[in-house]
Structure 1
Amino acid sequence: MKTLVVAATKAEVAFFYQHYNLPEGDFIEGKNFDLLITGVGMVATAFSLGQYLSANKYILVLNVGIAGCFDRNIALGSLLNINEDTFAELGAENGDEFLTITDLGFGENHFKSIGKRITNLPSVKGITVNCVTGSEKSINNIVKRLNPTSESMEGAAVFYACKKENIDCLQVRSISNYVAPRNKETWEIGLAIKNLNEWLISFISEMN
């Protein structure tokens, strides 16, 4: 069985496309791996994975992409193994208190990677959001409640889908910016994508 590489956008895996001379498309079947571009956000990700995981058998789902980071001690461009991920906004407000979907008794909001660990990358806890955190108040609240290291818009949806299908899954994120009030001048998207693709090419090459 093959590995399924999952990313939200083509831009995040542009060098991977070039390295393997992959054709244009959102779902590409290869000899040793398939590549799925889901679109941004947890809804698009869950829908796309639902389509392809039910129709194909994979030994591993590898979710890759860029992400924001709450920890200023982690350099921009760093690669992280997100081994825990949480739907940060899935639940209900009860005054100033936040009740998770788990608290409400309607499901799960916290998931872990399944299968082998990536031992050469730091393992951290991430959150998945619909709205990227960008105010000091929101940052302080989320750090106090969940104390995450990274933030993405897809990670927990991948873990959720893989748990439902009982498929091993990993998530690797390259840090493009710190979670802060929005200021694109401080971001390092190019560096993050470069480092992510170099790692991804090496990882897939070693698996084959």
Structure 2
Amino acid sequence: MPKFLIVGATKFEIQPLLTYFKIPVHSPEGLFSTESGPDISALITGVGMVNTAFALGRYSHNLFDYIINAGVCGAINKDLKIGEIVNVTNDTLSEMGAEDDSEFIKYPDLNLPGTNYYENQVQIISSALNGLRKVSGITVNTVHGNEQSIAKVRRLYEADVETMEGAAFFRGCSRLSENYFQLRAVSNYVEKRDKSKWQMPLAIENLNSFLISLIEELEK
């Protein structure tokens, strides 16, 4: 029986999955597992790349066959539809770099060791997963909601979506499992902040329905 780990920043983003597989959650953050049936654990990390990296490091002694980062995202690419599920195959820590007066120097141009770019080349045999659009992501501490900063990030990066955890997830999982991937549902477009346009319930419903179907497919 394969072992699954679902990594979510918050409980509410994966609540339908927790309910469906009867995973008891007793606190806002931590590792929780099914008591019977499929071997599924949920790691609720807290929001942001620091919390994600810390949580993955804390539980890195656990071995899983599949690790899935699941959550909502903002779409920079407006060809994406609200509620659409995407497979983020590469992710960049976009704020990692330096300022030179009004210019931003990307991390690779600083000639320092390491990287701010993480790529997932995992090939999973799954009809459901293969049907998703593959996109590029950026990971940020401050989500964009200002026209000038959005224009700047569009100029610097060819990204489709932004999250607050994705690149940290990829970095942590590179040492934990051979089968890991980041699935996101678009809840809003990256534009001047207007929460009345967000469709969080739709994104969460679509995301969790897909996750449940994917897990049941991979179990076979």
Q: TM-score, normalised by structure 1?
A: 0.94
SS at match of 2:78: coil
The residue number in structure 1 matching 2:20 is 19
SS at match of 1:77: coil
- Conservation of the 8 A alpha-carbon contact between 2:63 and 2:176: no
The residue number in structure 2 matching 1:92 is 98
Once the two structures are superposed, what CA deviation does each residue of 1:118-141 show, in whole Å capped at 9, x if it has no partner? Answer: 311000101000000111111111
Shift of 1:21: 1.6
Once the two structures are superposed, what CA deviation does each residue of 1:101-131 show, in whole Å capped at 9, x if it has no partner? Answer: 3332132101112422531100010100000
Q: Confirm whether residue 70 of structure 1 aligns to residue 71 of structure 2.
A: no
Once the two structures are superposed, what CA deviation does each residue of 1:64-108 show, in whole Å capped at 9, x if it has no partner? Answer: 100000122221000100001000101111223322333321321
Give me the whole-angstrom Cα distance separating, in 1, the residues matched to 2:142 and 2:95. Answer: 9
Q: Confirm whether residue 197 of structure 1 aligns to residue 208 of structure 2.
A: yes
Shift of 1:166: 5.5
SS at match of 1:58: coil
Among 107, 120, 123, the residue aligned to 1:116: 123
Say if 1:28 and 1:108 are closer, same or farther in 2 by CA, change over 3 A: same
- Conservation of the 8 A alpha-carbon contact between 1:114 and 1:168: no
SS at match of 2:73: strand
The amino acid of 1:115's aligned partner reads V
Q: What does residue range 54-203 of structure 1 map to in structure 2 within 5 Å?
A: 55-104=61-110, 105-117=112-124, 118-165=129-176, 167-203=178-214
Give me the whole-angstrom Cα distance separating, in 1, the residues matched to 2:106 and 2:32. Answer: 36
- Conservation of the 8 A alpha-carbon contact between 1:113 and 1:168: no
The amino acid of 1:29's aligned partner reads S
The amino acid of 2:186's aligned partner reads I
Shift of 1:199: 0.3
Among 29, 37, 44, the residue aligned to 1:37: 44
Moved more, 7-16 or 21-30: 21-30
Unpaired runs of 5+ residues, structure 1, are: none
Shift of 1:20: 1.1
For the aligned residue pairs, the C-alpha RMSD in angstroms reads: 1.4
Moved more, 14-23 or 151-160: 14-23
- Conservation of the 8 A alpha-carbon contact between 1:100 and 1:109: no
Q: Identity across aligned pairs (percent)?
A: 39
